[in-house]
Chain A
Amino acid sequence: MRNPQLNANGELQHLLSIEGLPREVLVQILDTAESFAGVTEREVKKVPLLRGKSVFNLFFEPSTRTRTTFEIAAKRLSADVINLNIAVSSQSKGESLLDTVANLSAMHADIFVVRHSASGAPFLIARHVKPHEHVVNAGDGRHAHPTQGLLDLFTIRHYKKDFTRLTVAIVGDVLHSRVARSLIHGLTTLGAPEVRVIGPQTLIPAGVEALGVKVFHDMRAGLKDCDVVVMLRLQSERMGGALLPSAQEYFKNYGLTADKLAQARSDAIVMHPGPMNRGVEIDSSVADGPHSVILPQVTFGIAVRMAVMSIVAGN
C-alpha cells in the first residue's frame, strides 16, 4: 500500500501524518523551515512562493492558535487565505464532509488545511481531492498533528542539534493526544534512541510500546536524565470520571514542578504544545523558567507551517 501522502516520485503531496514519512522528507521540511525562520525576523515578512494560490483553512473543530499560525504562515507565503469555521456552518446543516470539500474545491482551492475531530478525516479528504490540490492535516482526532510534531522536532533540533543522543519524555494524556503520536513517530524516524511516555495507566493507550517508546508510570523515574521534557495538555473534561479523580491529584503525581524537573539533565528543555493549564500539568515556575522553550515553539511553528505548505504546493 503506497503511503497516501506521497506522490509516485515519493515526494510530499499531502501532509497527513509523520508516520511513514522517510527521514529525508522530515529533514527537508526542517531545513526549509530553517530558511523561513529568517523571513519572520525581517521587516517585510513575505516571500512570494504561494502568490496566486488559495489556502482554505477548514476547521471542523474549534482552534485559535493552530488556525492563526497557519493563516500567518500562508500570508507570509503570499497566499490568499480563506478561513472556514465549518463547525458552525455546513456540518450543522447536515452536509457531508466530502460534499463540503467538493464545494470548496469548486471554488479553486490549492491547499486545504484541515482540522477534524475524527481520526483519519484528512485521509478521506485526500483520497477525494483533485490531483493539484493538497491536504495538510492540522489535527485529526487522537491520530495526528503533524505540523505540531514537526515544530516540536524543529525546536528540539534548534536547542539540541543531534537527535541520536537524546532521551525524550512525553508526559501526560498520551491516550487522547495526537501531538504525542506525531512527535513519537518523528523522534523514532530521526533516530532518537530513547523516547519515554509517562502517565497513569488510564492515560496510556494499549500497545503503545509498539510505537517504539518506553512506558513509565512514576514521573520522577521517567524524567531521570532526560534531555527533553514534553508536557501534554490535560483537558478538564477528563477529570472527575473514571480516568482521573481530580486536577489536584493529577498535578501532585504528573504535574511538572521544578522539583521533579531536577531529575532531568541540567540543560533539559521543557516544551508544551499549548494552551497550557498552569497548576494542572505544569507549574508556572517551570513554564516561565529557564528550561522552558514554550514560546519559541510558537514562533517556530510559523516557519514550519510555511515550509510544509511551500513544499506540498511545489510537488
Chain B
Amino acid sequence: MPNHSRLHIKNGRVIDPASGRDSVGDVYVSDGKISESFSKPEKTIDAKGLVVAPGFIDIAARLREPGLEYKATLESEMSAAVAGGVTSLACPPDTDPPLDEPGLVDMLRRRAKALTRARVYPIGALTLKLEGRALTEMAQLAEAGCVAFSQGNAPLADNQVLWRALQYAATFGFPVWLRAEDAALARGGVAHDGEIATRLGLAGIPAFAETIALASLLELVRATRARVHVCRLSTAGAVELVKSAKREGLPVTCDVSIHHVHLSDMDLGYFDSNCRLEPPLRSQRDRDALSRGLAEGVIDCLCSDHTPVDDDGKHKPFAEAEPGATGLELLLPLALKWGESRKLPLAQTLARITSDPARVLGLSSGRLAPGAPGDVTVFDPAAALRVTPETLKSQGKNTPFIGHELAGRVRYTIVAGQVVHEG
C-alpha cells in the first residue's frame, strides 16, 4: 500500500490490548508503521473523547468474489470492512469457484490491494472444489498468499480425508481451519434440535453433531499435531472440549461469531430468516457458555462471520432461506455489547478483535507497538449506531440486528497510515 504520510493521532484514550496500555495519549504513524513520537506531522487527528485502538482483525468475512457478485462485491464489502473499523480480514474459500487454485487467490489479492482499504488474507480451499475428497495444492496456494486452509461450511467426505489433510498440512506447518459438524447428524437440519425447533416444526441439528465432530477432530490433532483452528463454536459442550484440549497442550485455537454470543434459538421468533445461520443459533445455555468461554480466553477470538445474502435469498420460508448475515459493520458494537455484558475492561474486549485474531493468523498487526503495521481504528464507544439497510455499506442488508440501536461508532479507520474511512 503506497504511503508517505506522517500521521499524529492525539489526545485519545489509547488502548493496546497486546501491551496492556490503556491511557490518554498519542499514537504516531509514519511510513505505514506505528512509530515513536515525532514533530511536524502531515496530518493530525484529534481523538479527544474517542478510543484509539489497533485496527480490528476479522477472521471470517465473506467478500463473495469471485463468482457471487450479485450478493456482494469486493468494493461494497471492503467499504463495509473499513466502515466497521476492520483493517484486516480473513476470507473463507467458499466463493464460486472456490479458492482452490493459486490463480484465483492471486487475482483476489490483487483486486483487494488495488482498492487500498482493508488487508485481505485469503483462506485457501482444503480440498478441490471444496468437495471434501481431493487435497488442493496447499504449498502453491500458500505461495499465492493463503494463510490457512479450510472447507468453509462444506463437509469433508469422511474422517480418512480429514486425517490425511491434517497430516499433509502438518508436514508443511499450514494451519487448518474447520467447522466442527458431523454432516450426517446435521443432514437436513436448519435449527438447533430442541424445544424451539420442535415448536416451529423445523428439522433439528443436535448439539452432539458439533461435539462428536470436534472430539474426532481433536483426536486427529493429537495424532497429527496439525495446527487447527476450530471455526464458529456453537455449543457449551464444544467449549469444554476445547478447554481440555488446550490444557493438554494441543495446538488448537477457536472462534465464535458475534451472533452466537448474543442470540439463541429463542430469537427465531416467528421464523425470522435473518436468524438462519450456520451453525444454527443454539440454546440460551449454549450462548452463555460461549460468552463465558470467550471472556475466559478458551475461545480465542470473536468474528463477524460476515455473509452477505440478498433479499431473494432471505425472503423465503426459514428452512429454504440462505444461511448467513451481514456482520462486518457490527463487529465493534457487538463486541462492546458482549464485553459490557461480561463487565470486562475495554482492553480485554478489544483483545478478542485485535491482538488475539492477530495471534491466530500469525500477523504482526493488532497492536500499537512501534514497528507494527500502521493500522489504527478510532471509535466512539458511546455513540449510537442504528442498524438499517441505509446505514449499512455492505451489500448484505440482512442481520438479526436490523432495526437495533447499538453503541459504538467508528470515526476513523487507518490502514498503513492512510485514513481509509471517516465516519
Contact = CB atoms under 8 A, between A and B. Distances in A.
B362 interface: no
B370 to A, nearest CB: 51
B269 interface: yes
B314 to A, nearest CB: 10
Interface stretch (A49-57, A153-161, A200-208): A200-208
Contact of A96 (B198, B200, B271, B316): B316
A211 B312 contact: no
B201 A123 contact: no
B194 A124 contact: no
Given A1-B269, A206-B193, A119 B316 contact: no
Q: How large is the interface on B (under 10, 10 to 19, 20 to 34, 35 or more residues)?
A: 20 to 34
Contacts of A281: none
B143 interface: no
B270 A211 contact: no
A118 B317 contact: yes
A140 B201 contact: yes
Contact of B270 (A123, A205, A206, A208): A123
A4 B272 CA distance: 12
Contacts of A97: 316-317
B199 A19 contact: yes
Contacts of A206: 193-195, 197-198, 204, 206
A142 B199 contact: no
A123 B198 contact: no
A208 B316 CA distance: 26
A97 B311 CA distance: 13
Contacts of A141: 201-202, 317, 319
Interface string A151-174: 000000000000000000000000
B204 A119 contact: no
Interface string A203-224: 0011110110000000000000
Interface string B83-124: 000000000000000000000000000000000000000000
Contacts of A118: 316-320
16 contacts: A1-B270, A96-B316, A97-B316, A119-B271, A119-B317, A121-B317, A124-B271, A124-B315, A124-B316, A124-B317, A143-B200, A143-B201, A143-B202, A205-B204, A206-B198, A206-B206
Interface of A: 1, 4, 19, 96-98, 116, 118-121, 123-124, 128, 140-144, 178, 181, 205-208, 210-211
Given A119-B201, A141-B317, 11 more contacts: A96-B312, A118-B317, A118-B318, A118-B319, A118-B320, A120-B201, A124-B317, A141-B201, A181-B199, A205-B204, A210-B195
Interface of B: 193-204, 206, 269-271, 273, 312, 315-320
